[in-house]
Amino acid sequence: MTQQAAAAPPRGIQPSFEDLGTPLRDVTFVVVDLETTGTRASDSGITEIGAVKVRGGEVLGEFQSLVNPGREVPAFIARLTGITTAMVATAPQIDLVLPSFLEWAHGSVLVAHNAPFDVGFLKAAAAGLGYPWPGFPVVDTVPLARRVVTRDEAPNHKLSTLANLFHAQVTPEHRALADARATVDVLHALLGRLGSMGVTHLEDLATAADPVPPDVRRKRHLADGLPEAPGVYLFKGPGDEVLYVGTSTNIKKRVRSYFTAAEKRRRITEMVRIAHEVTPVVCATPLEASVRELRLITEHEPRYNRRSKHPERHTWVRLTDEPYPRLSVVREVRAGAPHIGPFGSRRVAQEAVDALHDALPLRQCSMRLAVVSRTPGSPCALAGMGRCSAPCTAVDAPDDAYAAVAKAASDVLTGDPSPVVRALAGRIGRLAAEERFEEAGLVTGRLRAYVQGAGRAQRLAPLAACAELVAARPTSAGGWELIVVRHARLAGTAVTGPHEDPLPVVDALRATAESVEPPVPPAPACHPEEAALVIDWLESPGVRLVHTSDPWAVPVRSALSHADLAGVSGEVRAQITTMAPC
């Protein structure tokens, strides 16, 4: 698989912490503080900007300037800050100060105590001047302090209180530069405490204020070194047992999320506490990742995965092969018998059986009946209600009436389900008209189970019967995503580049694809959920059919061969390989 470098974020868009991935010692912080004429950026102005640039605990520079807000400084603000209208009357206005500050702070991470206030004023000033906001990552020391400073240590999390607690070298005095200097000392003290909680990188700092247990946060190192690529990840325990399997388009980013407040599932938090290792499996395409995840879950049956662990629990509804057939819920498909399914549980399969019994007078007894009986049987109560044709009562001759019922049952299992739908829809309507809504809901559930099972079987059967199918879908990079499917199982996949001829790749892929034994139709040669994933992919927009061994298994057959393309120019050949849509 060819990995492409991530594109740089567009101008004016704030990059996420995940895109940075820088150790805190290498991060350049600009700790900024503002003095203003009020508390709202919409009707107040900036009177002073003070900032300190630090990296690795060392001060790299300072920025300080008074700003003419273009209005009077209220008296109470003047008493609080010491900045009067006369002091700022000759100061430069914000249109001169802001560009200098933005240039000076370029490429850094902004830090402020109560950052929404300071950054909000800076953004409002930039918008007023028509400047795009550079999209600085922002760190707010207030939530960080709330995370690591308890009420026993300090009564509140004001800057002056924290500066006193951490013995800052500068006392805050409501002047921008002095408060920025004090915030620098507070920031370094907070980072020191957060380090013991596993916060060592900038992306860790983004979620450091989250209420995540320290023992879970310390497991963040499990994501170190994981690829930023699509694929599957396996959380493993101390005995190398697989605890959990997941998939993502970005393995590293997804695994990191397990150690933040974004993960709220208690059982997964328990799993993270046990985990000792995360093993990545990079995949060429998202489809391959989804299929690998499913196969690994089926193979390892991880205790913290809830889905897809037991394919053997899937059931089918089958018409039995005997003189007077009946419906049976089975785990395995038998050749030559009509089936619908698979169903996720035996209960849902039984609902589908009940739907068929509501529509057709199939016998429901389990005894095996002879083709011709010498002694008449005793009809059951269902026969008396008209819900069973009672072939057990036939004497000296086969029951031809039941043969017609069995033929109708075979037809609705393998073909048109409308007779069952019409029969149950009519019954639902009658029950609703009689205000027997609970019974109507019960019949609706049966009808839904039957329709879903019949639809699933009809959807699976053609692909399960197809010995080989090769399909392609264009990628966003201009190449092709290729898959080989054999009896509904993903047997191989590859991705071509934007200028790469796909035909040699198709030939190589077919030659190296997994060999698959033919299943008993309509069952696929794989987990039913894998077949559903493959079908969803085939039905997605832009998919082209390259080759199929069975022209009746799919709607379109494309004759793509080297002979077809012999002597064709490269440009026309590339157009031909777009093929007909499947």
Residues tagged active-site: 174
Q: For helices 418-433 and 437-465, give the axis angle rounded to 10 degrees.
A: 170
Query: Per DSSP, what are the bridge partners of residue 244?
Result: 235
Angle (CA) 275 278 281, round 5°: 150
Q: For helices 528-538 and 286-300, give the axis angle rounded to 10 degrees.
A: 180
The CA R_g of the chain, rounded to the nearest whole Å, is: 35
How many Cβ atoms are within 10 Å of 164's Cβ, its own excluded? 14
Strands 109-112 and 28-36: parallel
Backbone angles phi, psi at 548, to 5 degrees: -145, 145
| Residue 128 in tokens | 């007023």
Give every CB contact of residue 144 below 8 A, 6+ residues apart in sequence.
Answer: 190, 194, 205, 208, 209
Residues in the chain: 582
- Contact criterion met (CB below 8 Å) for 316 and 343: yes
- Contact criterion met (CB below 8 Å) for 466 and 549: yes
Report d(CA 149, CA 164) in Å as an integer: 13
Report d(CA 535, CA 519) in Å as an integer: 17
| H and E: helices and strands count for the chain | 21, 15
Query: What number of CA atoms fall less than 13 Å from residue 376's CA on the CB side?
Result: 6
Query: Per DSSP, what are the bridge partners of residue 50?
Result: 33, 64
How many Cβ atoms are within 10 Å of 30's Cβ, its own excluded? 24
E-state strands within 385-479: 469-474
- Residue 316 DSSP SS3: strand
